[in-house]
Amino acid sequence: MDLTEYFQSYENYFWEWETDEDVAGDSGYHDHNLISIPGVGAIAYRPYVMEILKELQPQGWPPFGALLMVLYAMQDGYTDFSGPLKHTANFHSIGNFDFTAEKSIEFLEKLKSLNKTYKQGQNRIVLLQTLFQDSHNRMAPGRAEMILTTYYRRPHMLASSAVKKYAGPSAINRDLNTLNLLNEKFPTAQSIVDAMRDHMNEPELDDEVVEEEITVETDKDFIQQLIEEPKTFQVGSLIKRIWSGLRIPMRHLSPGEQPIGGISDMANKGDFHRMLLSEFANDNEVFMNRVANNEALYIQREIPPEENAFERIILIDTSLKNWGTPKVLAFASAIAVIRHPKAHSECKVFALGQAGIPVSLDKPEDVIETLNLVSPVLDVSEALGKFFNEEHTEKDIEVFFITHQENLADEKTRKVIHENRDRLKFLITTASDGELNFYKHHKGARKHIQKIRLPLQELWANPPQRKQKVHNVNGKKTDLPQNYPILFPTPSNQIARFLYEGEFYILSSKKQLLKTYLSDNYYDRNSYDYYKTYHGCEVLTEDISVKPRGQFALAKNKQQHFILCQYQPDKKLISKLNLNTKEYSEQNITGFNIPNSYHLIYFGKNFYLHQPMNSSRYKINLEGNVSVESISNDDDEIDKNIAKAETEVAKLNRSGMKIIRNFNKIGINENNNLVISGNELCRLYDNSLNLYKNRFTVKIPAEQNKNKFTFQDGSEIITDSRGMLTFKSSNTGIPTFYIPSTEYGFLALATNAEYGGSEYYLPKQTLLKVKTMEEMYSQYLTAFIDQILDYGA
């Protein structure tokens, strides 16, 4: 499929190309700059649609008509997609071809009913990426990139697409089937929202500032440790109160412009080339008066916002003026920003005194040590200026500076802050009476965001005399095996996925190389039908030294060592890492002048930088250190192999699970069921085992020592953040058994000899004897719990 075919319009169809003569076109091409529904209204201008296609290119493009109707359904105000779709379906239902648009309309109605928050700003892009991930009739990413490149070089080619043709059955079937299948994939509007949250790396959707209603369960264990430690009690007791009112945005987006087409897409400010042509028809005096008074009308560009990849740095004043209560407030504010439930980006922290000292606030011990830092200087203006002018001269940093309110009156401090206001994004001031003031620098001016007054006397009324619990008695974490008799749950956060010699591999965000597989061989289709294809994974290697950026390919060398090849187009860097020996080599390929449209692949015992239909490709050796050479691209098999590999790897898209990684409290509740970090381990359905939110009081808690939880009778549960629980009973007659730690899914229970539950966790090659979950539950888990209960009695 080429550019003309993808953007082709049809006779008696639900959309068409139009020309808005009042709007300047992009890329120097002014015709056919608007897409509309005949007789109804505009869908969007061409530049906006092209920006959307840019965002969707890495995952491939859906059929153009289906994408347009989704964009139309996301608009505010009046929309009519029912009439045009029904007309198109009825008109083309001839002979053996009977088309219906009911399911498509039903899906668009769900989309229309979503809260506008999910259809604005960066959320709009996330919504589109979620809907069309692995969509029906999807165009491959490489082909989509070629069409985009062709369009920006020769935009006038759209003229051929604007000439309407007869729509054959395949055209309308391609668009309607995509929407129909989306209706099946997302049965409710809420299912779309849930899928959006799963699609994002960070569990948030809004671009706006954090409002007062905050879920404060994140990092509860760390905050609780600060509260229970007398030396950090004052800091820890303030954090949740600061969270409840903090309005600093946790994820910054450039504002962009969010017009929706039509008259609402006009503004009274803009560039002259965006001014409506009708404005120039006024007399000179009238025209200049309208421009001077911001009354002239401009058409706005429809460009979605992009996330700013700033490095966030927090500077804490440790001078004499910021000592005592103000310093406690400063550290509480810093930890509140770093550990905020919606803050998932890393922060660097520096203590400013005579110089800037990097510090860590990851553990209570670190907080205690840093609280004791004090500098003899009265102000930190010199260290602050040195930080910006000598140590951190780069532009892409976003700095928080926390200091005492009185320091803003110091002339030297004010001067340094003013000179670096572009990078000093937020200013937080403290006071002895518990008052925090938050300022933001925006377009060269300082704006007061909010004031928080903390009731210090109330919050510090009951300090602990000693720690309520003693954790980490021996200071050593219990050793964990690399793998277990059953598979780990496959993580949903992944850097890359590979198909190598018929086997599936995953490079996880935790820097692990995992191996998984798919199958349709299922022994208990009635209970676990959903998981009959997907399976968990085994860990091949961990702690891989790699940055999660660019493109990746995986292969084995002659010694059967895994070789991970990485291509970073922005740095023009090719590197190889031997995952077995840790040998690393790299080469800068700037001199080759390779376009960004090339992609890294593996084919026929070599890695390649390859672009379909291009006359040349670049060969990267598998053995030895990195070397790159240009060769002719005359092998048609390589394109077929790429397409097949992409299709196969795409089957892994829904195999990821929500893994419980942080373990704080384990015990037995009033139902005599185990509770794992707020989740009850129980049987909700016949022949099943599940972890669901606990609603009952924990009556028998286990004592925690690092990753080991021990009950009073000596029974132990060892946790593994990769998604596994190991049960060791004090009764030697009960063998060690294992249960995965995943939420809202069917689990498995296995010993070193027997297995029961979802086949998702069953290894491909295993000698485990398969039994029913009822048998495994009563024989092992019930016996484990009864042993603990009998000891208490």
What is the bridge-based pairing of β-strands 311-317 and 347-352?
parallel
What is the bridge-based pairing of β-strands 503-508 and 513-516?
antiparallel
pLDDT of residue 710: 94
The predicted-structure confidence for 617-668, as pLDDT tens digits, reads as follows 999 999 999 999 999 887 778 888 888 899 899 888 877 888 998 898 999 9
Neighbours of 590 (CB within 10 A): 9
Q: Please state the pTM of the whole predicted model.
A: 0.44
Cα–Cα distance for residue pair 456/477, rounded to 1 Å: 37
Q: At what angle do helices 169-185 and 82-91 cross, to 10 degrees?
A: 130
CATH of domain 220-252+313-459: 3.40.50
When pLDDT is averaged across residues 559-568 and rounded to a whole number, the result is: 95
pLDDT of residue 599: 93
Helix, strand, or coil (residue 49): helix
User: What is the band of 676 on the pLDDT scale with cuts at 50, 70, 90?
Assistant: very high
The predicted-structure confidence for 726-756, as pLDDT tens digits, reads as follows 999 988 778 999 999 998 788 999 999 999 9
When pLDDT is averaged across residues 293-316 and rounded to a whole number, the result is: 70
Higher pLDDT, 725 or 169: 725
For residues 95, 97, 98 and 99, what is the CA-based torsion angle, rounded to 10 degrees? -140
What is the bridge-based pairing of β-strands 599-603 and 584-588?
unpaired
- Do the beta carbons of residue 404 and residue 317 sit within 8 Å? yes
Q: Is it the case that residue 203 has pLDDT exceeding 70?
A: no
The predicted-structure confidence for 225-266, as pLDDT tens digits, reads as follows 888 887 788 888 898 888 877 777 655 444 444 444 556 567
Q: Is it the case that residue 307 has pLDDT exceeding 70?
A: no
User: What is the band of 471 on the pLDDT scale with cuts at 50, 70, 90?
Assistant: very low
Phi, psi (5° rounding) for residue 637? -65, -30
When pLDDT is averaged across residues 168-194 and rounded to a whole number, the result is: 85
The predicted-structure confidence for 420-441, as pLDDT tens digits, reads as follows 888 788 899 998 888 999 888 8
Q: Is it the case that residue 607 has pLDDT exceeding 90?
A: yes
pLDDT of residue 623: 92
Q: At what angle do helices 121-131 and 64-73 cross, to 10 degrees?
A: 140
Q: What is the number of residues in the chain?
A: 793
Mean pLDDT of the chain: 83
Write out the DSSP string of 688-711.
--EEEE--S-EEEEPEEETTEEE-
The predicted-structure confidence for 344-384, as pLDDT tens digits, reads as follows 667 889 888 888 888 888 888 888 888 877 777 888 888 88
Considering 115-124, 320-329, 455-464, 739-748, the range whose residues carry the highest mean pLDDT is 739-748
User: What is the band of 395 on the pLDDT scale with cuts at 50, 70, 90?
Assistant: low
User: What is the band of 688 on the pLDDT scale with cuts at 50, 70, 90?
Assistant: confident
- Do the beta carbons of residue 266 and residue 299 sit within 8 Å? yes
β-sheet with 698-701: strand ranges across: 690-693, 679-682, 674-676, 666-669, 698-701
User: In angstroms, how far is CA 580 from the centroid of its own chain?
Assistant: 29
Sign of CA dihedral 392, 397, 403, 407: positive
Burial 164-178 (b: 16+ CB within 10 A, else e): eeebeeebbbbbbbb
- Do the beta carbons of residue 87 and residue 80 sit within 8 Å? no
The predicted-structure confidence for 87-103, as pLDDT tens digits, reads as follows 888 877 776 666 788 88
Tokens representing 329 are: 């407030």
Q: Is it the case that residue 524 has pLDDT exceeding 70?
A: no
Task: Choose among 319, 411, 362, 320: nearest CA to 219.
Answer: 362
Higher pLDDT, 721 or 376: 721
Higher pLDDT, 303 or 481: 481
Q: Is it the case that residue 530 has pLDDT exceeding 70?
A: no
When pLDDT is averaged across residues 280-305 and rounded to a whole number, the result is: 79
